Amino acid sequence: MAVQQLTPVSEQRVTVLVAARDLPTGTTLKEADFARVEVPPDLAISGVPSDAGALVGRQLAAALSRGQIPTESSLLGPGLLTGSPVGTAAVPVRMADPSSIQLLSPGQLVTVVLTAAGSYDESRQTQVLAGPVPVLWTSAHGGKGGEWLGTSDTEGLVVVAADPQQAEKLAGASTQGKLFFVLVSP
Protein backbone atom coordinates (compact mmCIF):
# COMPACT_ATOMS: atom_id res chain seq x y z
CA MET A 1 0.00 0.00 0.00
CA ALA A 2 2.89 2.33 0.73
CA VAL A 3 4.32 1.76 -2.76
CA GLN A 4 0.93 2.59 -4.28
CA GLN A 5 0.76 5.81 -2.27
CA LEU A 6 4.26 6.84 -3.33
CA THR A 7 3.83 5.89 -7.01
CA PRO A 8 2.76 8.88 -9.09
CA VAL A 9 -0.65 8.64 -10.69
CA SER A 10 -0.52 7.97 -14.42
CA GLU A 11 -1.13 11.18 -16.28
CA GLN A 12 -2.24 9.40 -19.42
CA ARG A 13 -5.93 10.16 -20.07
CA VAL A 14 -8.40 9.52 -22.86
CA THR A 15 -11.54 11.45 -23.74
CA VAL A 16 -14.86 9.61 -23.60
CA LEU A 17 -18.49 10.59 -23.98
CA VAL A 18 -20.76 10.32 -20.95
CA ALA A 19 -24.38 11.17 -20.34
CA ALA A 20 -24.62 14.85 -19.34
CA ARG A 21 -27.80 14.14 -17.36
CA ASP A 22 -30.04 11.19 -16.46
CA LEU A 23 -31.55 9.90 -19.72
CA PRO A 24 -34.61 7.63 -19.55
CA THR A 25 -35.21 4.60 -21.74
CA GLY A 26 -36.56 5.59 -25.13
CA THR A 27 -34.82 8.98 -25.27
CA THR A 28 -33.95 10.09 -28.79
CA LEU A 29 -30.40 11.36 -28.36
CA LYS A 30 -29.17 14.90 -29.06
CA GLU A 31 -25.64 16.25 -28.94
CA ALA A 32 -26.49 18.18 -25.75
CA ASP A 33 -27.20 14.87 -23.98
CA PHE A 34 -23.46 14.16 -23.82
CA ALA A 35 -20.37 15.62 -22.22
CA ARG A 36 -16.70 14.82 -22.84
CA VAL A 37 -14.65 13.74 -19.84
CA GLU A 38 -11.05 12.67 -19.38
CA VAL A 39 -10.58 9.23 -17.81
CA PRO A 40 -7.73 6.77 -17.34
CA PRO A 41 -7.43 4.46 -20.37
CA ASP A 42 -8.56 1.40 -18.41
CA LEU A 43 -11.97 3.03 -17.79
CA ALA A 44 -12.64 3.69 -21.47
CA ILE A 45 -14.84 1.19 -23.30
CA SER A 46 -13.61 0.14 -26.73
CA GLY A 47 -15.94 0.62 -29.67
CA VAL A 48 -17.83 3.56 -28.16
CA PRO A 49 -18.00 6.60 -30.45
CA SER A 50 -15.90 9.54 -29.30
CA ASP A 51 -18.06 11.97 -31.27
CA ALA A 52 -21.58 12.75 -30.01
CA GLY A 53 -22.66 13.31 -33.62
CA ALA A 54 -22.48 9.54 -34.19
CA LEU A 55 -25.13 9.04 -31.50
CA VAL A 56 -27.50 11.87 -32.46
CA GLY A 57 -30.91 10.54 -33.48
CA ARG A 58 -30.38 7.08 -31.99
CA GLN A 59 -32.77 5.88 -29.29
CA LEU A 60 -31.89 4.47 -25.87
CA ALA A 61 -32.88 0.87 -25.21
CA ALA A 62 -31.83 1.27 -21.58
CA ALA A 63 -31.64 4.26 -19.27
CA LEU A 64 -28.31 6.06 -18.81
CA SER A 65 -27.39 7.72 -15.54
CA ARG A 66 -25.51 11.02 -15.49
CA GLY A 67 -21.82 10.28 -16.08
CA GLN A 68 -22.43 6.81 -17.57
CA ILE A 69 -20.65 5.88 -20.80
CA PRO A 70 -23.10 4.88 -23.57
CA THR A 71 -22.47 1.48 -25.14
CA GLU A 72 -23.92 -0.13 -28.25
CA SER A 73 -26.02 -2.42 -26.04
CA SER A 74 -27.69 0.63 -24.47
CA LEU A 75 -28.91 1.80 -27.90
CA LEU A 76 -31.64 0.49 -30.15
CA GLY A 77 -30.30 -0.79 -33.42
CA PRO A 78 -31.41 0.56 -36.76
CA GLY A 79 -34.49 -1.67 -36.52
CA LEU A 80 -36.46 -3.34 -33.78
CA LEU A 81 -35.27 -6.81 -34.81
CA THR A 82 -31.55 -6.08 -35.11
CA GLY A 83 -29.67 -9.10 -33.75
CA SER A 84 -32.77 -11.35 -33.63
CA PRO A 85 -32.74 -14.83 -35.15
CA VAL A 86 -33.85 -15.17 -38.79
CA GLY A 87 -37.64 -15.52 -39.01
CA THR A 88 -38.33 -13.49 -35.87
CA ALA A 89 -41.27 -11.11 -36.18
CA ALA A 90 -41.89 -7.83 -34.33
CA VAL A 91 -45.52 -8.16 -33.25
CA PRO A 92 -47.47 -5.25 -31.76
CA VAL A 93 -50.00 -6.32 -29.13
CA ARG A 94 -52.46 -4.04 -27.34
CA MET A 95 -52.68 -4.90 -23.66
CA ALA A 96 -56.00 -4.69 -21.81
CA ASP A 97 -54.50 -2.58 -19.01
CA PRO A 98 -52.46 0.27 -20.58
CA SER A 99 -51.17 1.44 -17.18
CA SER A 100 -49.45 -1.94 -16.61
CA ILE A 101 -47.15 -1.17 -19.56
CA GLN A 102 -45.16 1.10 -17.23
CA LEU A 103 -43.75 -2.06 -15.63
CA LEU A 104 -42.08 -3.06 -18.91
CA SER A 105 -38.93 -1.95 -20.64
CA PRO A 106 -37.19 -3.23 -23.78
CA GLY A 107 -35.32 -6.46 -23.17
CA GLN A 108 -37.63 -7.85 -20.49
CA LEU A 109 -39.16 -11.26 -21.06
CA VAL A 110 -42.93 -11.67 -20.88
CA THR A 111 -45.56 -14.34 -21.46
CA VAL A 112 -48.61 -13.03 -23.34
CA VAL A 113 -51.94 -14.40 -22.09
CA LEU A 114 -55.38 -14.14 -23.74
CA THR A 115 -58.47 -14.07 -21.54
CA ALA A 116 -61.47 -14.72 -23.75
CA ALA A 117 -64.89 -13.77 -22.45
CA GLY A 118 -67.30 -16.67 -22.29
CA SER A 119 -71.04 -16.38 -22.59
CA TYR A 120 -73.22 -15.29 -19.69
CA ASP A 121 -73.28 -18.75 -18.11
CA GLU A 122 -69.75 -19.74 -19.17
CA SER A 123 -66.52 -18.98 -17.33
CA ARG A 124 -63.68 -17.06 -18.94
CA GLN A 125 -61.11 -19.07 -20.87
CA THR A 126 -57.41 -18.25 -20.44
CA GLN A 127 -54.78 -19.25 -22.99
CA VAL A 128 -51.02 -18.64 -23.18
CA LEU A 129 -50.34 -17.26 -26.66
CA ALA A 130 -46.57 -16.74 -26.52
CA GLY A 131 -43.78 -16.78 -24.05
CA PRO A 132 -41.31 -16.08 -22.92
CA VAL A 133 -40.81 -13.41 -25.58
CA PRO A 134 -38.58 -10.30 -25.31
CA VAL A 135 -40.13 -6.85 -25.25
CA LEU A 136 -38.76 -4.68 -28.08
CA TRP A 137 -40.72 -1.45 -27.52
CA THR A 138 -43.44 -0.06 -25.26
CA SER A 139 -45.71 2.94 -25.50
CA ALA A 140 -44.86 3.84 -21.89
CA HIS A 141 -41.09 4.38 -22.32
CA GLY A 142 -40.58 7.07 -24.88
CA GLY A 143 -43.03 5.65 -27.36
CA LYS A 144 -44.21 8.69 -29.26
CA GLY A 145 -46.79 8.53 -31.99
CA GLY A 146 -45.23 8.19 -35.39
CA GLU A 147 -41.78 7.27 -34.06
CA TRP A 148 -42.08 3.55 -34.80
CA LEU A 149 -45.62 2.86 -35.83
CA GLY A 150 -46.61 5.99 -37.76
CA THR A 151 -49.65 6.69 -35.58
CA SER A 152 -50.51 8.63 -32.46
CA ASP A 153 -52.73 5.82 -31.10
CA THR A 154 -50.02 3.90 -29.25
CA GLU A 155 -51.49 3.72 -25.73
CA GLY A 156 -51.25 0.19 -24.38
CA LEU A 157 -49.05 -1.10 -27.18
CA VAL A 158 -46.15 -3.44 -26.61
CA VAL A 159 -44.01 -4.82 -29.43
CA VAL A 160 -42.54 -8.26 -28.77
CA ALA A 161 -40.16 -10.47 -30.75
CA ALA A 162 -41.89 -13.71 -31.63
CA ASP A 163 -41.13 -16.81 -33.66
CA PRO A 164 -43.46 -17.51 -36.61
CA GLN A 165 -45.85 -19.76 -34.61
CA GLN A 166 -46.13 -17.25 -31.75
CA ALA A 167 -46.56 -14.37 -34.21
CA GLU A 168 -49.49 -16.17 -35.84
CA LYS A 169 -51.23 -16.57 -32.46
CA LEU A 170 -50.52 -12.97 -31.41
CA ALA A 171 -51.58 -11.24 -34.63
CA GLY A 172 -55.10 -9.95 -34.08
CA ALA A 173 -55.45 -11.72 -30.73
CA SER A 174 -56.87 -8.60 -29.09
CA THR A 175 -60.04 -9.09 -31.17
CA GLN A 176 -60.61 -12.44 -29.43
CA GLY A 177 -60.48 -11.14 -25.86
CA LYS A 178 -58.25 -9.23 -23.49
CA LEU A 179 -54.47 -9.52 -23.57
CA PHE A 180 -52.30 -9.44 -20.46
CA PHE A 181 -48.60 -10.07 -19.83
CA VAL A 182 -46.77 -11.96 -17.14
CA LEU A 183 -43.19 -10.92 -16.33
CA VAL A 184 -40.74 -13.82 -16.74
CA SER A 185 -37.35 -14.11 -15.05
CA PRO A 186 -34.46 -14.55 -17.52
The residue length of the chain stands at: 186
Q: Is the pLDDT of residue 150 over 70?
A: no
Rounded mean pLDDT, 143-150: 45
- Using an 8 Å Cβ cutoff, are 34 and 19 in contact? yes
Q: Is the pLDDT of residue 110 over 90?
A: yes
DSSP code of residue 170: H
* Whole-number average pLDDT of the chain: 82
- Using an 8 Å Cβ cutoff, are 91 and 160 in contact? yes
pLDDT at residue number 145: 43
pTM of this prediction exceeds 0.75 = no
Q: Is the pLDDT of residue 82 over 50?
A: yes
More confident residue, 56 or 9: 56
Q: Is the pLDDT of residue 165 over 80?
A: yes
Pairing of strands 14-19, 157-162: unpaired
- Using an 8 Å Cβ cutoff, are 73 and 45 in contact? no
Would you place residue 119 in the very low, low, confident or very high pLDDT band (cuts 50, 70, 90)? low
Would you place residue 144 in the very low, low, confident or very high pLDDT band (cuts 50, 70, 90)? very low
Name beta bridge partners: 115: 126, 178
Domain residue ranges of the chain, discontinuous segments joined by + = 12-74, 89-184
Q: Is CATH 3.90.1210.10 what the domain over 12-74 is classified as, yes or no? A: yes
- Residue-wise pLDDT tens digits, 11-52: 788 888 999 999 987 788 999 999 999 888 888 777 777 788
